């Protein structure tokens, strides 16, 4: 991964991000108002939030703007964002994500005071669903599920002016049975009804709608007019669907679902009228009750980022959340109806389930211990280093596979250690983040096991070349930010041992020289390389001596060349590991190798 786009906007004295501060504006247009229904208490707590933003195909979205309570950050190349020591309402943290070409993304949850919460947000791409003329109206089908019926004169400019001409409709249907519902839906399923009462919703489907004119003008429903909305009822909900159900729109400023109008069941769909567009929801409301629990492994160690889901008996999800840094979780569920709890393990399988009953009072299940029948427990550790090979204080480590993601924090020396649940059939990667510089490391693959020591992880500007590795567990770093260091990559022929088109990666801080040779100039993974790893007999500044035999052919190094620009002012980038034999016949292990070297 190249230089991250991880950008941090500084906050007030109560909101801390990196090393800078500024006063919060007296009037904050993004901050939820305590008077908005009853979802906000008006009392604030300090918390930390680590999140990931992805698209519908699971790929990270970089450069997305993420806002929370007046503060804003941009996601980095891995879709990551971080809020540190930020004050939020004790009842509700509401996060918004905007990115050109996507509908608004958001999530809301009960924050964990003085802890670290993790969230995932999936953005829905905007595509033109259909086009009609405002003077004649039209019918628009949305994802082959929902539909919109427009009459002539229904559309005007969003600012209230008149409009005549083509209307481009961007819409997306959100299936209530979608497994990632909580990631793609706005906010959560908490709402404020017409009586200004807090409720919890059971969704029967959602839709996002935006409209634009032929010249890109923002459009909406004309004042006093309405558009017919038809929403399908899933087969699992048809036998329980009420004959009439409230309609709810999403208040993007405060993060609340607000009741407005109703829909009537006709056959297998709900039909209602809406007078404006954003997100709309066809939902049945219930009083809420607080639910909490704590997740640990079978050794009693708290497990963070464990997926927890609450469902109704017909399989409708009331929300998917993740345990916080201390393994704890709190959320709102419907009162008075049966709700089941599901806790998932590292492979995405249900590890624990329990009926929460249909009571009305708060429920605390205490500690839930995961035995991990189809996944494994492990501890992953290592050290984050900056460009001067110094430990990064208060850094972050992003640990992820296809289903799980975790975040670890570093101590004053840059060390981290994290207990995780992982699936043995899925690759695991680690990425280091330095919040004080906004930089992140290369993604590194993890060799799975009960103990996973990543050694040194270099978090350095990719505008500055470096080579970082460990020999027999001891870490060494060459960086051009260290005075006197030279690092380069070039094509070379090193005589009969290295015939053909080769790349030489060389780092020198006299008298130490580190280099290795890749047999051709292609992006690939090269195994069983018999080429030298280190030249130069001693490393006095590093307080070690590793004489290398260059001719035995006993060296076995795996090099993964991830970038080769192939021209002057470009660069080579990759990772490496393996074994080599010194002149005394002793085998040494080289691990956690990573490099970025300018070509020249």
Given 266, 286, 306, the domain boundary residue is: 286
Q: Residues 417, 430: one domain?
A: yes
Is residue 515 predicted with pLDDT exceeding 90? no
Q: Residues 172, 143: one domain?
A: yes
283 bridge partner residues: 203
Is residue 348 predicted with pLDDT exceeding 90? no
Q: Residues 135, 262: one domain?
A: yes
Given 286, 321, 356, the domain boundary residue is: 286
Most confident of the following: 121-125, 353-357, 485-489: 121-125
Q: Residues 148, 232: one domain?
A: yes
Containing domain of residue 475, as a range? 464-600
Given 462, 482, 510, the domain boundary residue is: 462
Which backbone phi and psi does 31 adopt, to 5 degrees?
A: -80, 130
Q: Are 226 and 153 in contact (CB under 8 A)?
A: no
Structure tokens at 55: 């698209």
Q: What is the pLDDT of residues 464-475, one digit of tens each?
A: 677 777 776 666
Q: Residues 575, 561: one domain?
A: yes
Three-state DSSP string of 337-359: CCCEEEEECCCCCEEEEEECCCC
Number of other CB atoms surrounding residue 540 within 10 Å = 9
E strand or H helix at 400: strand 396-400
- What mean pLDDT, rounded, does the chain reach? 78
Q: Give the pairing of strands 307-311 and 105-109.
A: unpaired
Structural domain count, the chain: 5
Chain mean position to CA 136: 43
Q: Residues 570, 489: one domain?
A: yes
Q: Residues 242, 161: one domain?
A: yes
Q: Is residue 2 part of a domain?
A: no
Strands in 181-253 per DSSP E: 190-192, 198-212, 218-221, 227-232, 244-251
Q: Residues 421, 397: one domain?
A: yes
Q: Residues 278, 147: one domain?
A: yes
Most confident of the following: 254-263, 316-325, 363-372: 254-263
Which CATH number does the domain housing residue 184 bear? 2.60.220
The three-state secondary structure class of 182 is helix
E strand or H helix at 181: helix 181-184
The three-state secondary structure class of 367 is strand
User: What is the rounded average pLDDT of the residues 545-556?
Assistant: 46
Q: Are 97 and 115 in contact (CB under 8 A)?
A: no
Structure tokens at 332: 């709102």
Q: Is residue 261 part of a domain?
A: yes
Q: Give the pairing of strands 466-471 and 363-370.
A: unpaired
Q: Is residue 355 part of a domain?
A: yes
Structure tokens at 313: 């008996």
Which CATH number does the domain housing residue 44 bear? 2.60.40.10
Q: Residues 135, 107: one domain?
A: no
Q: 545: burial class by Cβ within 10 Å (0-12, 13-18, 19+)?
A: exposed
Q: What is the pLDDT of residues 84-93, one digit of tens each?
A: 899 999 999 9
Q: Is residue 519 part of a domain?
A: yes
CA nearest to 237, candidates 227, 245, 248: 245
Q: Is residue 1 part of a domain?
A: no
Q: Is residue 339 part of a domain?
A: yes
Q: Is residue 92 part of a domain?
A: yes
The three-state secondary structure class of 6 is coil
Which backbone phi and psi does 182 adopt, to 5 degrees?
A: -65, -25
Q: What is the pLDDT of residues 180-201, one digit of tens each?
A: 888 999 999 999 999 999 999 9
Q: Is residue 488 part of a domain?
A: yes
Largest Cα separation within the chain, whole Å, is 89
Q: Residues 405, 532: one domain?
A: no
Structure tokens at 64: 């997305």
**Phi-psi region at 195: left, alpha or beta (left = phi > 0; alpha = psi -120 to 50):** alpha
Q: Residues 312, 360: one domain?
A: yes
């Amino acid at each position: 991964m190249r230089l991250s786009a991880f950008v941090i906007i500084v906050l007030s004295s109560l909101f801390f991000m990196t090393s800078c501060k500024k006063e919060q504006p007296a009037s904050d247009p993004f901050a939820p108002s305590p008077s908005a229904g009853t979802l906000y208490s008006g009392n604030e707590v300090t918390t930390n939030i680590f999140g990931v933003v992805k698209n519908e195909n699971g790929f990270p979205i970089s450069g997305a703007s993420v806002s929370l309570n007046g503060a804003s950050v941009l996601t980095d190349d891995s879709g990551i964002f971080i809020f540190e020591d930020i004050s939020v309402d004790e009842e509700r943290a509401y996060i918004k994500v905007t990115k050109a070409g996507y509908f608004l993304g958001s999530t809301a949850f009960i924050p964990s005071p003085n802890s670290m919460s993790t969230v995932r947000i999936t953005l829905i791409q905007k595509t033109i669903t259909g086009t009609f003329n405002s003077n004649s109206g039209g019918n628009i089908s949305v994802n082959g599920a929902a539909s919109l019926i427009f009459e002539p004169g229904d559309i005007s400019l969003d600012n209230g002016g008149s409009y005549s001409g083509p209307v481009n409709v961007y819409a997306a249907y959100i299936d209530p049975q979608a497994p990632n519902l909580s990631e793609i839906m706005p906010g959560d399923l908490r709402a404020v009804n017409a009586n200004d009462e807090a409720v919890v919703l059971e969704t029967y489907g959602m839709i996002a709608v935006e409209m634009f004119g032929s010249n890109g003008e923002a459009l909406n429903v004309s004042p006093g007019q309405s558009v017919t909305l038809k929403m399908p009822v899933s087969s699992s909900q048809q036998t329980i669907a009420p004959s009439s159900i409230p309609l709810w729109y999403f208040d993007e400023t405060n993060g609340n679902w607000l009741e407005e109008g109703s829909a009537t069941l006709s056959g297998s769909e709900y039909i209602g009228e809406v007078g404006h567009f954003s997100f709309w929801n066809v939902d049945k409301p219930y009083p809420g009750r607080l639910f909490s629990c704590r997740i640990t492994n079978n050794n009693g160690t708290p497990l963070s980022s464990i997926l927890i889901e609450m469902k109704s008996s017909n399989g409708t999800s009331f929300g998917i959340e993740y345990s916080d840094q201390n393994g704890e979780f709190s959320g709102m569920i419907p009162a008075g109806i049966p709700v089941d709890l599901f806790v998932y393990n590292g492979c995405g399988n249900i590890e624990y389930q329990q009926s929460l009953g249909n009571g009305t009072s708060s429920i605390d299940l205490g500690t839930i211990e995961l035995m991990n029948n189809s996944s494994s427990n492990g501890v992953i550790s290592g050290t984050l280093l900056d460009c001067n090979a110094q430990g990064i204080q208060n850094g972050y480590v992003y640990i992820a596979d296809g289903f799980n993601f975790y975040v670890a924090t570093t101590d004053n020396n840059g060390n981290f250690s994290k207990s995780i649940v992982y699936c043995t059939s899925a690759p695991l990667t680690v990425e280091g983040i330095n919040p004080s510089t906004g930089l992140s490391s290369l993604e590194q693959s993890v060799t799975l096991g009960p103990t996973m020591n990543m050694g040194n992880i270099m978090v350095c500007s990719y505008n500055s070349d470096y080579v970082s590795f460990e020999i027999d567990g001891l870490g060494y770093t060459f960086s051009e930010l260290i005075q006197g260091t030279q690092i380069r990559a070039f094509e070379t022929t090193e005589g009969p041992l290295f015939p053909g088109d080769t790349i030489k990666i060389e780092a020198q801080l006299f008298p130490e020289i580190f280099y290795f040779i890749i047999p051709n100039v292609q992006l690939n993974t090269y195994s069983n390389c018999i080429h030298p790893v280190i030249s130069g007999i001693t490393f006095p500044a590093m307080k070690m001596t590793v004489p290398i035999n260059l001719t035995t052919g006993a060296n076995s190094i795996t090099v993964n060349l991830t970038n080769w620009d192939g021209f002057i002012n470009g660069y080579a980038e990759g990772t490496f590991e393996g074994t080599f034999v010194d002149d005394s016949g002793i085998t040494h292990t080289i691990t956690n190798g990573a490099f970025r070297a300018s070509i020249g």
